[in-house]
A and B are shown apart, each in its own frame.
Chain A
Amino acid sequence: MVIIDKENCKGCGRCVTACPKKCLEVGEALNAMGIKAVQYKGEGCISCGICFYNCPEPYAIKVEK
């Protein structure tokens, strides 16, 4: 399942676009940088890792199978 570290997310939304199951969204809450970070909708993740590879940040996303 996808695990998002919202403090490392810059909110670009590439993972949201790339997710084949459309289970990610840009959240409303601001992180410490003042960015609306991406969050998991809570269901639908198949742990494919596509979000991880589309994300430009090394530590914003990890996926546990």
Chain B
Amino acid sequence: MATIEQKGMYKVFPRSGKNVSFTHYCPGCGHGIINKLIAEACAELGLQDKTIFVDPVGCGVFTYYYWDAAHISAAHGRASAVATGSCRARPDAVNIAYQGDGDLGAIGFNNAFQAASRGENFGCIFVNNSLYGMTGGQMAPTTLDGETTTTTPFGRDPALTGYPLHVCEVFNQLKAPVYIARVSVADTKRIMQAKQAIRKVFEIQRDKKGYAILEILAPCPTNLRMNAEKAAQFCINEMEKEFPLGTFRDETATRPAREVRPIPQCASCAELFAEKTAIPAAVTDPAFAEKRFKFAGYGGQGILSLGLTVAEAARLERRHTLWFPSYGPEQRGGSANCSVVVSGTPIGSPTVEHPDVLVCMNQPSYERFAQDVKKGGLIIVDETVPVHVQPPEGVQLVVWPAIRLAEEFGVPKAANTMMLAALKKLNCTGLSGDSLEEALVASFKKKPELGEKNKQLLRQAEQM
């Protein structure tokens, strides 16, 4: 004599400090029916000891009280992201994300969509009741055209709030998912179809075939302000018009088990960051006068590298130093500048409003920054920059043929190295020439032959 009764759930639910054996769902809620089917499928397939459920925020938030398996609670909308982590960390487990339409369809849509696109090894059970249930029946992305909710009191108006989001149809554009289907729990026939579909999601995960999503239309009597029967009829007569039931894709028979790639690992963080951890700390030396630099030009002139080379030279001398780039979205051709601070004491702000030394490789840079240079400071401009406006009083201006020298030496890209030669020759950095040279060579560490070449060019330019 077989008994039809609940399988796969805890016998009591320790909610709100007491043990009860009923759920927190409202009378007639579709979640309750779905929760029962999920627990049953998990138990009947013998997967309870292997299953990790990722629980949502929303009405399904308490599923960890009900399903007798492992659980992880995710933040709102993040169940698919957490399930991604879970299925990668535990590829041996059956990973199931349970999400609602506010959770998956709105705030978490991209998490779910990208996980589906990657074909992560988890099953997503997506409960669509056409509104936000837990928070009081607000409009969700899945709210029907004309449907009344607390935030669409006159009915959803597509001209104002757009159209219902068809999650299955959208996901069906992706290559990776193995199984995409929409079912309902509105009546007995539909519940039995849902039962089979839920079972299928578990089987796909058991067999490691990849990503599966099952959308389930569920009645929400409370927020639809209907009794259980009317709410179920609403699912059938209204929701199914917008969200037709059916299997959009089922490639379970033809797909092989998805290959599980181990996550690449390194021995330790020290190994990963070995070079960086070898950098000696700066030495505090209050006797060293702080120097603030601004390097400016257009993107592609090597302005940022020039600043970085000066900062690197400072690091080699164990000075405190900061390099702070500023540039537009262009890879080449936009204006670019960087600030460098070299100090004997810890540095507060990396920004440089009034530099001691300004290097300008083009006219707009000179016009923008020249007036900001400190009294007693220095401006080095390339000779191609027309100096229409004199620098501020007490500021020295040096015109230097960086671009021309680079061209004469046959290496037009080395104009920034030519500018470094000027900085070295004028001895205006507070850093030794040797450090500047060493930093220059280090900046080409991926192309050592260029490092030596630039060092030679630097020395040649200095003789000019």
Contact indicator B227/A13 (Cβ below 8 Å): yes
Q: Determine if A41 is an interface residue (Cβ-Cβ < 8 Å).
A: no
Q: What sequence of 0s and 1s flags, for each residue 7-39 of chain A, a beta carbon within 8 Å of any chain B beta carbon?
A: 110111110011000000000000000010000
Contact indicator B32/A55 (Cβ below 8 Å): yes
Q: Determine if B295 is an interface residue (Cβ-Cβ < 8 Å).
A: no
Contact indicator B28/A56 (Cβ below 8 Å): yes
Q: Determine if A42 is an interface residue (Cβ-Cβ < 8 Å).
A: no
Given contacts A53-B191, A56-B33, contact A12 B27 (CB under 8 A): yes
Q: Determine if B248 is an interface residue (Cβ-Cβ < 8 Å).
A: no
Contact indicator B1/A64 (Cβ below 8 Å): yes
Residue of A nearest to B12 (CB): A59
Q: Determine if B96 is an interface residue (Cβ-Cβ < 8 Å).
A: no
CB contacts (< 8 Å) of A10 on chain B: these are 22, 26-28
For window 44-65 of A, CB contacts with B under 8 Å fall at 47, 49-50, 52-60, 62-65
Q: Smallest Cβ distance from B93 to chain A, in angstroms?
A: 24
- How many chain B residues touch A (CB < 8 A): the figure is 34
**Alpha-carbon distance A7/B195, docked complex (angstroms):** 26
Q: Determine if B237 is an interface residue (Cβ-Cβ < 8 Å).
A: no
Residue of A nearest to B229 (CB): A17
**Alpha-carbon distance A11/B26, docked complex (angstroms):** 10
CB contacts (< 8 Å) of A7 on chain B: these are 21-22
**Alpha-carbon distance A56/B26, docked complex (angstroms):** 9
Given contacts A18-B188, A54-B188, A64-B1, contact A12 B221 (CB under 8 A): yes
Residue of B nearest to A5 (CB): B21
Given contacts A14-B229, A14-B232, contact A63 B3 (CB under 8 A): yes
**Alpha-carbon distance A5/B21, docked complex (angstroms):** 10
Q: Determine if B5 is an interface residue (Cβ-Cβ < 8 Å).
A: yes
Contact indicator B5/A52 (Cβ below 8 Å): yes
Given contacts A54-B33, A60-B22, contact A13 B3 (CB under 8 A): no
CB contacts (< 8 Å) of B36 on chain A: these are 53, 55-56, 58
Contact indicator A65/B3 (Cβ below 8 Å): yes
For window 58-78 of B, CB contacts with A under 8 Å fall at 66
Instruction: From B2, B4, B22, give the contact of A57 (CB < 8 A).
Output: B22
Given contacts A12-B228, A13-B28, contact A56 B4 (CB under 8 A): no
Instruction: From B9, B33, B232, give the contact of A55 (CB < 8 A).
Output: B33
CB contacts (< 8 Å) of B228 on chain A: these are 12-14, 17
Residue of A nearest to B232 (CB): A14
Contact indicator B229/A58 (Cβ below 8 Å): no
CB contacts (< 8 Å) of A13 on chain B: these are 28, 227-229
Given contacts A53-B195, A56-B27, A63-B5, contact A8 B22 (CB under 8 A): yes
Most buried by B among A7, A11, A59: A59
**Alpha-carbon distance A55/B25, docked complex (angstroms):** 12
Can you list 12 pairs linking A and B with CB atoms under 8 Å apart?
A12-B28, A18-B187, A18-B188, A49-B4, A52-B5, A53-B36, A53-B37, A56-B36, A57-B22, A62-B3, A62-B4, A64-B1
Q: A10-B28, A57-B22 known; 5 other A-B pairs, CB under 8 Å?
A: A10-B26, A58-B35, A59-B22, A60-B22, A62-B5
Which 8 A-B residue pairs are closest in the complex by CB-CB distance?
A: A56-B32, A12-B28, A12-B27, A10-B27, A62-B5, A49-B4, A12-B228, A58-B6
